[in-house]
Amino acid sequence: MEEKGDDCSSRLAIMELANMLSVPMCLNAVVRLRVPDAIWQGGSNLPLTPSQILSRLSLPHPADSLNLQRILRMLSSYGVFRETISEDDAARTYSLTDVGKTLVTGDDGLSYGAYVLQHHQEELMRAWPLVHEAVLDPSAEPFVKANGEPAYSYYGKRPEMNGLMQAAMSATSVPFMRAMLEGYDGFSGAERVVDVGGSAGDCLRMILARYPTVREGLNFDLPEVVAKAPAIPGVTHVGGDMFNYVPSGDVIFMKWILTTWTEDECKLILENCYKALPPGGKLIACEPVLPKHTDDSHRTRALLEGDIFVMTIYRAQGRHRTEEEFRMLGAAAGFPKFKPFYVDHFYTVLEFQK
């Protein structure tokens, strides 16, 4: 008699899941080796053999093309590269798919490669074998258990980690903001916009470019973060702690902030935003919002995986929330009106009006 779950496809599926760590680790490898830039070369994206790719990397010693091929072949199966086999079966060549192109460094110096590298730094990797501890004892995050202190203060003492965090945030924020500002006009009429947790200031730079009526942008983040932020015309970098206060503005913006924190911490941040707004002023928060139903789409998986990342690295009791949970958080901090706008697949724009 056939046992439940004892068929070949189930056993293959669990082997695939158990070995899946090789996917992000190989992404990390191709980004470190700069393979996407080597293939792209100004948009040519010609199919190349692993040896041809290596020859473009100006490496100091001979490298192993067969091992590179093993990596590229596996990532082709996940849609990062397109593999072609020559008619005589003698050679495999690789070009970038649309997914792979997100890892190419753009004219602005940005690439999702920074996000890949940021997630796979040694200190973050140390936390992952401790995910089960977030269930047994959520009072301290796996990152804290592995490294002895919370992630943001840890990054703050290490300029390289801080810099990589900023590059990762810029790389993911810029394409989102471009799409958001095309489809959403919530900043019209604003004169002073504060970005809470604004990192390098890219979001504000783009808001100011789109809305000349915004005369002043305040990029508010931890002192060690704004110390490294580049000068941006019209933007003042302000170092501080959003748990103490938020600078005043007629619109307060934040992106990818609330997700990281617990209910009580979110309430405190939202109360500080409420205090910093005039009557009728609004807080525009762009956050990952979980769908009600679980499915296997890229969007749902990216959101659910991000939720586990938050649990492991930032707050064992911080989390990705549903639209209703955000509405309730806003109401608890005093915001009577709440409206969500969907402009992107990963973040949702949430308007909280005073």
Ligand X SMILES: C[S@@+](CC[C@H](N)C(=O)[O-])C[C@H]1O[C@@H](n2cnc3c(N)ncnc32)[C@H](O)[C@@H]1O
Residues that bind ligand X (CB under 6 A): 152, 169, 173, 197-199, 221-222, 225, 241-243, 255-257
Q: Which CB, 243 or 342, lies closer to ligand X?
A: 243
323-332 vs 263-276: helix axis angle to the nearest 10? 60
CB-side neighbour CA atoms (13 Å) of 302: 10
Output the smallest distance, CB 191 to ligand X, in A: 21
**CB-closest chain residue to ligand X:** 197
CB closer to ligand X, 78 vs 346: 346
Residue 53 or 316 having the CB closest to ligand X: 316
Choice between 13 and 243, CB closer to ligand X: 243
- Least gap, CB of 137 to ligand X (angstroms): 23
The closest of 30, 31, 56, 27 to 41, measured between CA atoms, is 56
Query: CB of 207: closest distance to ligand X in angstroms?
Result: 12
Q: What distance separates the 2 farthest-apart alpha carbons in the chain?
A: 74
Please give the order of strands across the beta sheet that includes 337-341.
235-239, 216-221, 192-196, 251-255, 282-288, 347-353, 337-341
Residue 236 CB-density burial (10 A; 0-12 exposed, 13-18 middle, 19+ buried): middle
Q: What is residue 84's three-state secondary structure?
A: strand
Minimum CB distance to ligand X smaller for 53 or for 229: 229
Contact 234, 215 (CB under 8 A): yes
Q: Is 257 or 303 the residue whose CB approaches ligand X more closely?
A: 257
Closest distance to ligand X from the beta carbon of 253 (Å)? 9
Q: Nearest approach, Cβ of 221 to ligand X (angstroms)?
A: 5
DSSP 111: -
Minimal distance, residue 313 CB to ligand X, in Å: 10
